[in-house]
Amino acid sequence: MEPSSRLITADRFDAVLFDLDGVLTDTSSVHALTWKTVFDEYLNERSARTGEPFRPFDIDTEYRHYLDGRLRYEGARSFLESRGIKLPPGSPGSPSSEESVCGLANRKNDLIAREFAANGVQVFDDSIRVLKRVRQKGLKTAVVTASHNCEAVLRAAGISNQFDVHVDGNIADRLGLPGKPAPDTYLKAAAEMGVTATRAVVIEDAISGVQAGRAGGFGLVIGADRTGDAEALRENGADFVLKDLSDLV
């Protein structure tokens, strides 16, 4: 793709839809480590109780494949099923001590909330430059994320006033929207802004996210290569992949 075709301009597009973790904020690694803490503790306890061999959670393969970019409960269920573990689903109100899909996912949410409160949130400067520039050009912007902590993260990052629409895990739960790689949350954000998918750009760092952008028929799907996954992002739907998003504007 020619460099000029990468540019996000008002004559080609009406809106840009950003993923949160790994695109706007440098929080994917924190999410991955928090999931590892929860799953390793559970798998180790389960091993001691059942005699099953303990195999620790692998961030490089299992986080990227089963959890990155997905709604919290869907991701937890997907990982557990990959290990042949079937737990009761629980409910969003399940205590974090409960041995259920929702219980484990809520345990993770408790840990990540404490982490953000203690250490704050780092942003990716290249994404913030793109965000501010496209708004100056008159394009609408949305954040579309599986996170249930979207509002708190945006406030901590100082960018909560930079978006016309937020579609997060709480909204997906309330409306019964399937998470990425299904395109529904991205399509919901586009509809809320009154724009068509073909006139909108999706920026994602997760494989499930670029799959969602492609499935939704968005006019441009951009992969942000934060972890060396450029080829996988291309293979799964990204029109092109950049390490530095500043070139987009």
CA–centroid distance for 150 within its chain: 10
Same domain for 7 and 102? Answer: no
Same domain for 175 and 197? Answer: yes
- CATH of residue 198's domain is 3.40.50.1000
What global pTM score does this model have?
A: 0.78
149: which 2 tokens? 């902590």
Boundary residue ending a domain (119, 154, 189): 119
Structural domain range at position 14? 3-27+122-248
**Residue labelled with tokens 């780092």:** 122
Kindly state the average pLDDT of the residues 6-20. Answer: 93
What pLDDT score was predicted for residue 248? 87
Q: Please name the residues in contact with 64: beta carbons below 8 A apart, sequence gap of 6 or more.
A: 206, 207, 227, 229
Same domain for 48 and 132? Answer: no
**Residue labelled with tokens 């929860």:** 38
196: which 2 tokens? 């068509």
The partner residues of 224 in beta bridges, in order of sequence, read: 242
What is the C-alpha to C-alpha distance for residues 1 and 7, in angstroms, rounded to an integer? 11
24: which 2 tokens? 């706007």
Same domain for 40 and 72? Answer: yes
What pLDDT score was predicted for residue 166? 96
Same domain for 33 and 23? Answer: no
What is the C-alpha to C-alpha distance for residues 151 and 153, in angstroms, rounded to an integer? 5
Boundary residue ending a domain (96, 119, 142): 119
Same domain for 23 and 33? Answer: no
Q: What is the pLDDT of residues 86-95, one digit of tens each?
A: 999 999 999 9
CA distances from 235 to 22, 28, 186, 210 (A): 19, 21, 20, 9
Q: What is the pLDDT of residues 150-206, one digit of tens each?
A: 988 898 888 999 999 999 999 998 999 999 999 999 999 999 999 999 999 999 999
Same domain for 130 and 239? Answer: yes
Same domain for 244 and 229? Answer: yes
Active site residues: 19, 21
Same domain for 166 and 228? Answer: yes
User: H or E element: which one contains 166?
Assistant: strand 165-167
Same domain for 16 and 91? Answer: no
Boundary residue ending a domain (76, 99, 119): 119
Residue type, 192: E
CA distances from 194 to 18, 77, 120, 139, 164 (A): 16, 34, 33, 12, 11
